[in-house]
Amino acid sequence: MTKLIVFTDLHMVPEGVRIIGLDPYARLLAGIEHVNRHHADADRVIFMGDLTHRADTPSYERLRDLLSLLTPPAAITIGNHDHRTRFLETFSHVQPDENGFIQQVIDFDDCRAVLLDTLFAPPYDYPMSHAGYLCEMRLAWFDRALAGAGGRPVLIFMHHPPHKTGFTGMDAIRLGNEDAFYERVLKHGNVRHIFAGHVHRTIGGSHRGIPFSIFKSPVHQQPMPFDTPDTSLSVDEPAAYGIVVVTPEGLQVHNEDYEIARRDVAIA
């Protein structure tokens, strides 16, 4: 049974910088130590974008050094707070696809994992680059990745949710070409689950008949009011990562609030 650990929205910053008073480095370090302690047997630790907060080289370097501490191997894609060129300059071991996008296919015995690059850039002009997009080259690559699964169920990992999640501000900057994405998904009929980040919330459900899960950040979370248009608002809630286990009968998705997780128990 394949086990995958999933982090998203790391928002790494240079040394000494905080986000709403929180230290992304310390919070991610605690998450990595938690994974090494309790999930060293994971087949991959997948990072789904927004690796840094400002896409600066010092932040990528801090993140690279942190990820070197992981016991399981890592797989990485990027999000709207990232910059492809700067990322690749620091993470020189990561191989982009033939068109330079940060996406890959990983085959396990019981599933195929597909990591998509949904960054709407270059140009790196805000606010449009906060939304996600899959250009024709990426859609063609995605189509081939689904077609070549060889009977394996496919798990998709992407930064931007490919549909609305109920949060007004975040829905305005979701994946911009939802129909083109789902056209490929439904054509092949082998996608078992879609995983995304971006919203900084734990959300689960299904869309167009396909189950999906969205995970919280290791750093700051999205306030819960659905009708908030300001996407920059953040709250201090426990850091989290996801745990995905492929079973002979299907799939399990767990959320680990590792900052407050306890292994000792009391009997009332």
Residue 83 lies inside a defined structural domain of this protein: yes
User: In this structure, what token pair is assigned to residue 99?
Assistant: 């068109």
Tens of pLDDT, residues 123-147:
998 888 899 999 999 999 999 999 9
- pTM, entire model: 0.97
Residue 262 lies inside a defined structural domain of this protein: no
Tell me, what's the pLDDT at 81?
97
CA distances to 81, 106, 148, 153, 267 from 109, in Å? 33, 10, 14, 10, 40
Q: Give the separation between CA 140 and CA 134, rounded to whole angstroms.
A: 10
Residue 264 lies inside a defined structural domain of this protein: no
Give the domain CATH number at 193: 3.60.21.10
Q: What are phi and psi of 207, to 5 degrees?
A: -145, 125
Tens of pLDDT, residues 234-245:
999 999 999 999
- The alpha carbon dihedral of 6, 243, 237, 131 has a sign of positive
Residue 267 lies inside a defined structural domain of this protein: no
Q: State yes or no: pLDDT of 152 exceeds 80.
A: yes
As a whole-number percent, the residues of the chain with pLDDT over 90 amount to 92
* Cα torsion through 80, 81, 85, 88, rounded to 10: -100
Residue 40 lies inside a defined structural domain of this protein: yes
Residue 59 lies inside a defined structural domain of this protein: yes
User: In this structure, what token pair is assigned to residue 169?
Assistant: 């501000």
Tell me, what's the pLDDT at 266?
72
Tens of pLDDT, residues 171-217:
999 999 999 999 999 999 999 999 999 999 999 999 999 999 999 99
State how many domains the chain has.
1
Q: State yes or no: pLDDT of 51 exceeds 90.
A: yes
Residue 261 lies inside a defined structural domain of this protein: no
Residue 210 lies inside a defined structural domain of this protein: yes
* Structural domain span for residue 109: 3-256
As a whole-number percent, the residues of the chain with pLDDT over 70 amount to 100
Tens of pLDDT, residues 70-107:
999 999 999 999 999 999 999 999 999 999 999 999 99
